């Protein structure tokens, strides 16, 4: 009996597609139990790979609940900037209230630089603090002797770019770093309407519109330095204007075809070559 059961066990299967009217066979497929299971598994794996590729490499991933899109990331950056500004305001109000209490009590108010120094004293040993204080005194004496702001004809000094002090053009988040080949400049994200400042004294050599860069302003500085500011919402200077370091020159915007959000495209050129601004300017 057991032998008969083994002989009657089905091993091969066949699927036919037949025309019901003429009984003509249209399609036929033979398969075994193992090949059928392998085909099902292969189909599931291929469908899973297709679904993964669609989610990982196409905008369909933004349809997943909770997945951050470009607007969400932009909002997060702007919220971080607002939080930083609020923290600074709270710190100033705390210092103001403390100083108000000290004045009422007849004591000397705290200075901002003294509070910063006090916060650093816990991380510095006595010898380190004494050494830094000595270096600071020497630096102050040197600056006073050389008259950094050229009050008595010091504007003729020729400094290398490493020895110059730059104003920060915009307080924000560097959303795209400098790359000497693919991206020889940086992008700084900030809320629309934020004020853009000149990094040095100089002369505006171009201020106008460009289809790709939007409202653009270029400034020629001393020592063969040129700074370029693109995608502005509005320009505050015109070609030929003299500007001083830290002067307002434009407002952050999103103009031009090569932009996807409010930010400043900033370039720094030295002796005809693009350089990394983050090496010389704190953002």
What is the helix (H) or strand (E) element at residue 22, kind and residue range? none
Domain 166-279, CATH number (from 2.40.128.50, 3.30.470.20, 2.70.70.10, 2.60.40.420): 2.70.70.10
Structure tokens at 125: 């040993």
DSSP state for residue 208 in the 8-state scheme: E
Taking the whole predicted model, whether its pTM rises above 0.75 is answered as: no
Q: Distance between CA 133 and CA 119 in Å, rounded?
A: 15
User: Closest by alpha carbon to 261, among 159, 201, 188, 207?
Assistant: 188
Q: How far is CA 195 from CA 50, 82, 236, in A?
A: 47, 15, 10
What are φ and ψ of residue 4, in 5° steps? Answer: -65, -40
Backbone φ/ψ region at 272: left (φ over 0), alpha (ψ -120 to 50), beta: left
Residue 157 is predicted with a pLDDT of: 52
Residue ranges of domains in the chain = 11-57, 112-147, 166-279
Structure tokens at 265: 């495209």
pLDDT in tens, 73-119: 777 777 887 887 788 788 778 877 887 777 777 777 665 555 454 55
Structure tokens at 68: 């951050």
Do 29 and 14 touch, CB atoms closer than 8 A? yes
**Which value, to the nearest 10 degrees, does the dihedral of the CA atoms of residues 142, 148, 154, 160 take?**
90
Mean pLDDT, the chain cut into blocks of 10 residues (283 residues total): 56 78 80 82 91 78 68 76 80 78 74 52 54 62 54 52 88 90 91 93 94 94 94 95 94 91 94 92 85
Structure tokens at 227: 């700074």
């Amino acid at each position: 009996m057991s032998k008969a059961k083994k002989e009657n066990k089905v091993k091969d299967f066949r699927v036919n597609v037949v025309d019901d009217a003429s009984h003509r066979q249209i399609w036929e497929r033979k398969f075994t139990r193992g090949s059928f299971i392998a085909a099902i598994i292969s189909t599931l794996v291929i469908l899973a790979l297709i679904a993964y590729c669609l989610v990982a490499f196409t905008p369909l991933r933004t349809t997943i609940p909770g997945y951050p899109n470009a607007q969400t990331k932009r909002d997060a950056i702007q919220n971080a900037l607002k939080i930083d500004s609020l923290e600074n305001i709270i710190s100033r109000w705390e210092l103001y209230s403390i100083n108000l209490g000290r004045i009422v009590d007849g004591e000397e108010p705290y200075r901002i630089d003294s509070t910063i120094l006090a916060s650093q004293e816990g991380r510095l040993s006595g010898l380190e603090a004494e050494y830094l204080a000595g270096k600071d005194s020497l630096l102050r004496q040197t600056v006073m002797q050389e008259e950094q702001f050229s009050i008595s004809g010091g504007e003729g000094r020729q400094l290398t770019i490493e020895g110059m002090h730059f104003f920060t053009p915009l307080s924000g988040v560097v959303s795209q770093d400098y790359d000497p080949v693919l991206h020889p400049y940086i992008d700084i994200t900030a809320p629309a309407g934020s004020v853009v400042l000149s990094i040095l004294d100089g002369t505006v050599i171009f201020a106008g519109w460009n289809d790709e860069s939007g409202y653009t302003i270029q400034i020629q500085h001393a020592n063969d330095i040129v700074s370029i500011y693109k995608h502005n919402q509005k320009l505050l200077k015109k070609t030929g204007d003299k500007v001083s370091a830290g002067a307002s020159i434009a407002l952050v915007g999103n103009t031009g075809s090569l932009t996807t959000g409010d930010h400043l495209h900033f370039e720094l050129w030295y002796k005809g070559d693009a350089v990394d601004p983050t090496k010389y300017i704190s953002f």
